Amino acid sequence: MVRTLVLACLLLVAGCSLTGSREHRDADTDTDTGTQRPDSTGTGTDTDTIGVTVTRIRLGEGTVTFTVKVPAGDDGCAATPQARVLGYDTTAVNVETVVASNLAPTCQGGKLSRTFTTPLDLQGRDLRVNGVLYRPDATGHGVTACDTTLGCNPPADRCDPRWTRTVIPHNDLPPDKRTRVVACHAHWLILDVTATTRDGAQQHVRWFAELDPQRRWLVVASTRTGGCVDVRLAVPSFPLAYCKNLTPPGPATAG
The side-by-side arrangement of strands in the sheet containing 108-119 is 53-59, 63-72, 108-119
**Looking at residue 248, what DSSP letter applies?**
P
**Quick one: which H or E segment has residue 234?**
helix 229-234
Residues 6+ apart with CB under 8 A from 213: none
CB 72 within 8 A of CB 113: no
Instruction: Delimit the domains of the chain by residue range.
Output: 48-145, 161-242
Residue-wise over 71-100: b if at least 16 C-beta within 10 A, else e? bebeebbbbebbbeeeeeeeebbbbbbbbb
* CA atoms of 225 and 205, how far apart (whole Å): 8
pLDDT in tens, 98-152: 999 988 888 887 789 999 999 999 999 999 999 999 999 999 899 999 988 788 8
* CA atoms of 93 and 127, how far apart (whole Å): 5
CB 59 within 8 A of CB 84: no
Number of helices followed by number of strands (H, E) in the chain: 3, 13
* CA atoms of 117 and 60, how far apart (whole Å): 9
pLDDT value, residue 110: 73
pLDDT value, residue 7: 42
pLDDT value, residue 150: 83
**Looking at residue 168, what DSSP letter applies?**
B
Of how many residues is the chain composed? 255
* CA atoms of 38 and 60, how far apart (whole Å): 45
Q: Identify which of 185, 139, 138, 142 has the alpha carbon closest to the alpha carbon of residue 164.
A: 185
CA angle 148, 153, 185 (to 5 degrees): 90
**Looking at residue 91, what DSSP letter applies?**
S
Average confidence (pLDDT) per 10 residues, the chain, 255 residues: 44 41 30 28 62 95 96 88 94 95 84 94 94 93 89 89 81 72 93 85 90 89 94 95 92 62
Amino acid in position 16 = C
DSSP state letters, 119-167: E---TT-EEEETTEEEEE-TTSSSEEEPBTTTBSS--S-TTSHHHHTT-
